[in-house]
Amino acid sequence: MLLLAGCRDRDLPQAIWLSTGTGPAQVVYPRAIAYDAPRDQFVVVDRMARVQRIDRDGQFVAGWRMPDYMMGKPVGVSVGPDGNIYVPDTHYQRIMVYSPDGHLLRQWGAPGKEDGQFIFPTDVAFDDRGRVYVSEYGDHDRIQIFDMQGNYLAQFGQFGDGEAAFSRPQSIAIVGDTVYLADSCNHRIGVWKTDGRFVKNIGTVGTAAGEFRFPYGLDVSPDGKLLVTEFGNNRVQVIDPESGKSVLQWGRAGRQPGELAYPWAAVTDKRGRVVIVDAGNNRLQVLQRR
């Protein structure tokens, strides 16, 4: 762990967590992160198909490897309201549910386009009614809704570039009855209701403030702002969901502290810190939102 607190440049991270490798607190191209607020810990998934829990200081707590990984590795991870860890096992077309210490509790899904089946599931999110939302892509882009045991309930969305469609929905965030979706290959954030009604899209392709290039990561800060991680622009933006305006951003392409290489995701914690998955640099960067 590299500590950088006290630096005058406010765009520099407070700390850099993890390093390159296959041991504890090491990663190879991390691609997903979730914040476990009750435990004040983070869960990280990398391209070695490893799931690691780290504490609030970036120290290793526990870890395990997915049971299958030769065909591909997960691109998402979430902590459920039950405290368990939900992994969309992307290339094995299923959802895996683990206890916090890595014991497999249950799984559901199979390859296909029918109700309850998946092509490439990418993320899992939860509403306040205990329902589970799963995004998937692969020419059958949609959001499916399940109960906590994995029983199919409903779905919405379709593949395309039209107003009420999406192309590679990569991340989901839910606030009340509103679903925010990182519509990655359409370079925008989709806004829907939990009953499947389309509301609007935020942003368009570009490099200016409020524009996006391959937004992969999506989180909601405690003040209701959207935290959007752009794989293509090597940055993280804070977006006002009502106006669609960018109110803050970090990052530029590079290898130095404060620079990013193909970031996949970011989350906020209870201290107001932003933890960014700096995938191409095999690290997490920790910033204090100002």
Dihedral of CA 40/90/244/242: which sign?
Answer: negative
The per-residue pLDDT for 14 is 94
* pLDDT score at 8: 43
Q: Give the count of beta carbons closer than 10 Å to the beta carbon of residue 260.
A: 28
Q: How many CB atoms lie within 10 A of CB 99?
A: 13
CA dihedral 271, 274, 279, 284 (to 10 degrees): -40
CA 23 – CA 4 distance, rounded (Å): 23
Q: Is 92 helix (H, G, I), strand (E, B) or coil?
A: helix
Instruction: Check: CB of residue 87 under 8 Å from CB of residue 111.
Output: no
Domain annotation for the chain: domains and CATH numbers: 2-288 (2.120.10.30)
Q: Are the C-beta atoms of residues 63 and 48 closer than 8 Å to each other?
A: no
The whole-angstrom separation of Cα 246 and Cα 225 is: 10
Q: How far is CA 41 from CA 16, 236, 259, in A?
A: 16, 21, 24
Give Cα 194 distance to the centre of its chain: 19
DSSP β-bridge partners for residue 266: 276
Cα–Cα distance measured from residue 197 to residue 19, given in angstroms and rounded to the nearest whole number: 43
Ramachandran class of 240: left when φ > 0, alpha when ψ lies in -120 to 50, beta otherwise: beta
Token duo for residue 186 = 């359409």
Task: List the Cα angle 66/69/75 in 5-degree steps.
Answer: 75
Q: What is the pLDDT of residue 5?
A: 44
Q: In the chain, count H helices and then E strands.
A: 0, 27
Per-residue model confidence (pLDDT) at position 244: 96
| Burial classification of residue 203, based on how many CB atoms lie within 10 Å of its CB (0-12 exposed, 13-18 middle, 19 or more buried) | buried
Q: What global pTM score does this model have? A: 0.95
78-79 β-sheet, strand order:
78-79, 85-89, 94-98, 104-108
Q: 240: Cβ–Cβ under 8 A, 6 or more apart, which residues?
A: 225, 226, 247
At 10 the pLDDT is 60
CA gap 89, 229 in Å, rounded:
21
Q: Residue 43's pLDDT is what?
A: 98
Q: Which of 62, 192, 173, 177 is nearest to 123 (CA)?
A: 173
Q: 3-class DSSP state for residue 152? A: strand
Residue 159 DSSP class: B
Q: What tens-digit pLDDT sequence spans the chain (290 residues)?
A: 554 444 446 679 999 999 999 999 999 999 999 999 999 999 999 999 999 999 999 999 999 999 999 999 999 999 999 999 999 999 999 999 999 999 999 999 999 999 999 999 999 999 999 999 999 999 899 999 999 999 999 999 999 999 999 999 999 999 999 999 999 999 999 999 999 999 999 999 999 999 999 999 999 999 999 999 999 999 999 999 999 999 999 999 999 999 999 999 999 999 999 999 999 999 999 998 76
Q: What distance in Å separates the CA atoms of residue 83 and residue 141, rounded to the nearest whole number?
A: 28
| Burial class of residue 178, CB neighbours in 10 A (0-12, 13-18, 19+) | middle
